[in-house]
Amino acid sequence: MDLEEKFKMVLMILAAVIVFGTVGYTIIERWSLLDALYMTLITLSTVGFGEVYVLSPPGKIFTIILVVVGVVGVAYTLSVVGQMIVEGELKKLLGRKKMEKGLKELTNHYIVCGFGRVGRRVAQELSARRVSFVVIDNDLPRIEQAEKDGFLFVQGDSTVDQTLLEAGIERAKALITAVANEADGVFITLSARQLNPGLFITARAESDEGKKKLMRAGANKVISPYKIGAIRMTLTTLRPNLVDFMKVITFDKDTGLTIEEIEIKPGTPLVGSTLKVCPIRKEFGIMVVGIKKVGKDVFLNPSPETKIEAGDILIVIGEKEGLEKLEELTGG
């Protein structure tokens, strides 16, 4: 019997004893429900209050039975609750309820499938950026690690639709498959795309063939950690200063600099202005290194005369505080 079932059982036992006593006094002594409930509670609690009315002989016999049954039931309930408290199970149950509530309230969030070395690093990066997300994994030690890290989680198989639904995939903004098994990654991608057609899916691939299958399954982007790692190792050897710069702009805690994308919402003050006259650089200290126009590819190093339009996505580099102010201005 799992934790939740055990807790429900002891509550049902206690409720059953109370109902038994209330109904018994109502039938035997013909008391009102309130008087019968009151008599039952003072009998079970042994507080020592006097009887509501003088008991008849059958009522006294029933009271004896109620005391015996009640003492046994209450004693068992208290022992189980005490054991749960001692073992920390009650805390786990309350934590699970809090977790379930948190999952239900999630919207426009990210889902990370797999909490291995790659998945945990992804979760840490999302947490550092204060992004709402939930982790899915079927491995108990990994789930315990996710709980220890303070992340929302769902323990289950990511390839199963019900698990994805528990993670709120219908309300999610994006999904990241960080599982090492490419076949599982394809199944997850197929299921996720079907459950939420508008979802942005980033998948992990171990081979070129796996990358093709993941793209056909519906992934928006496919990343190979080994390929990226190999490229970075090569660049670190050949161009160490360039790699240091890339590290800074991806999110350096010491400098506070990071690179972000900012979407320009319709009706925001920046719409219609040019990069030259808008306050992005002057007031926020942010540098625009690229712009993606609707239906077009990203072009880098835009000219000062480039006009900002609704729907544009700005690729910017700056400090966290300035980026937050820019997001507020653009409706982000």
- Give the global pTM: 0.61
Is the alpha carbon torsion for 133, 137, 143, 148 positive or negative? negative
- The mean pLDDT of 274-292, rounded to a whole number, is 88
Task: Fill in the amino acid letter for 87.
Answer: E
Q: Is the pLDDT reported for residue 3 higher than 60?
A: no
Domains of the chain: 3-90 (1.10.287.70), 106-228 (3.40.50.720), 255-330 (3.30.70.1450)
Q: What is the pLDDT of residues 99-116, one digit of tens each?
A: 777 788 889 999 999 999
d(CA 156, CA 295): 38
Range from 46-55, 179-188, 283-292 carrying the lowest mean pLDDT: 46-55
- The mean pLDDT of 260-280, rounded to a whole number, is 87
Average pLDDT, the chain: 85
Given the structure tokens 């006593």, which residue do they identify? 21
- The mean pLDDT of 268-272, rounded to a whole number, is 87
Would you place residue 86 in the very low, low, confident or very high pLDDT band (cuts 50, 70, 90)?
A: low
